[in-house]
Structure 1
Amino acid sequence: MKRILAAAALAAAAAGSVSSALAAEGPTTATTVKVALLDMSSTLGLGTVGMMGPGMMGPGMMGRWGPGPWWQDQGQPGTDGGSGMMGPRQPGPQMMPRWGMGPGMMMGMMSIRIDRAEVKAGAVTFDITNWSRSAVHELAIVPVDGPDAPLPYDFSQAQVAEDQVSLIAETEEMKPNASATLEVTLMPGTYLLICNIPGHYAAGMAVPLTVAP
């Protein structure tokens, strides 16, 4: 009987070790990144700041009208989204020094916000919402050498030259208030999430994402 009990104890200990190892490793589920595509119309009706009492922009001067979207605490479009609408028109693709930082740029009126700046390599799901009330946007994923790496830009088309970059994935054009999902597998490195609707990248619609090993 003692031998039977000892064998049972050893089996239980072994099973516990396997369970602990599996728990430590964790399930192989995809990391989810929330993405907000924003422009100046995105804040209308969200009650970010009241102006003249209850109305379009919220209840008076007392602040927010209830909890806002997750990206609202990260600032408003145009405050840090880079610069400008369009650079001087020049023929053919050139290199834009940094999104929204080309010559002749002005403060950006558009932006992309993400709820995390770094993920682990592997399966990543992008949960994307176009929060604009009036404009079509999209999301494209481009690998780059670093967060400030220039992208080839065609000033005649007001777009990143997609035939000169390694495009990982992109959504279809997303209408206002539309949502979409991209499921990709990312290797370690740096990526830019951009909107390549004409003029939007130059207006500030780009954000870097770091993928760690």
Structure 2
Amino acid sequence: MRGLPTHAGALLISVVFATSTWAANEAATVKVALLDMSSAMPMGMMGYGMMGPGMMGPGMMGGMMGQGMMGMMSIRTDKPTVKAGTVTFDVTNWSRSVLHEMLIVSVDNPNAPLPYDYTRAQVPEEQIKVLGEAEDIQPSQSKTLEVTLPQGTYLLICNLPGHYAAGMVTPFSVTP
């Protein structure tokens, strides 16, 4: 700090320290995209192709579910890991026609399947530990969810009927 008066040098050190402390304690923001087949279709193609009018005849959904719908829907994040503390999830439903939601579920093993109720086509929420939820996000809309998360392993899921089974799940971890 040569050339600065003593009080100016102390002020500079205080500002640098305060700025670095603030940055270390700054809340993490995670951008989350809720996606399905309509998210990737150009507007002119809506209503055509596999999901077009008249394509969902009786038994069609059952046949698709029987063959597995994995990958037809997904959840993507801009970062898979954050530090423990306050986390803000900026959740956007990129679908053009389907309602979605996002739940934060605490798990021991992100590779183990969650319990599943096949009659309701949902994860029974009373059997899992939900730490936060952004409900009923309309197509092309966003919601913000702020939660305090301890170190651990989590899954982000959409638990509307059939969505988890269709691939709307992604692991998420929180480090010390």
Tell me which residue corresponds to 1:12: 8
Is 1:201–2:164 an aligned residue pair?
A: yes
TM-score, scaled to structure 2: 0.79
* In 2: Cα distance, 1:167 partner to 1:204 partner: 18
Q: How do 1:49-88 and structure 2 match up within 5 A?
A: 56=45, 86=65
Q: How do 1:64-143 and structure 2 match up within 5 A?
A: 86=65, 105-143=68-106
Q: Which runs of 5+ in 2 are unaligned?
A: 47-63
Of 37, 41, 44, 1:44 maps to: 41
Identical residues among aligned pairs (%): 58
Tell me which residue corresponds to 1:82: none
Tell me which residue corresponds to 1:98: none
* In 2: Cα distance, 1:112 partner to 1:29 partner: 25
Deviations 1:72-101 (A, max 9, x none): xxxxxxxxxxxxx646xxxxxxxxxxxxxx
Tell me which residue corresponds to 1:29: 26
Q: Could you tell me whether the CA contact under 8 Å between 1:38 and 1:112 is conserved in 2?
A: yes
TM-score, scaled to structure 1: 0.66
Structure with the larger helix share:
2
Tell me which residue corresponds to 2:128: 165
Q: Which has the larger radius of gyration?
A: 1
Q: CA RMSD in A?
A: 2.3
Q: Bigger relative contact order, structure 1 or 2, given CA contacts below 8 A and separation 6+?
A: 2
Q: Which runs of 5+ in 1 are unaligned?
A: 1-7, 47-54, 58-84, 88-103
1:204 to partner: Cα distance: 0.4
Tell me which residue corresponds to 2:113: 150
State the number of aligned residues. Answer: 156
Q: Could you tell me whether the CA contact under 8 Å between 1:86 and 1:158 is conserved in 2?
A: no
Corresponding residue SS for 1:17: helix
Corresponding residue SS for 2:115: strand
Deviations 1:72-131 (A, max 9, x none): xxxxxxxxxxxxx646xxxxxxxxxxxxxxxx6354311011111111111111111111
Corresponding residue SS for 1:172: strand
Corresponding residue SS for 1:108: coil
1:22 to partner: Cα distance: 1.5
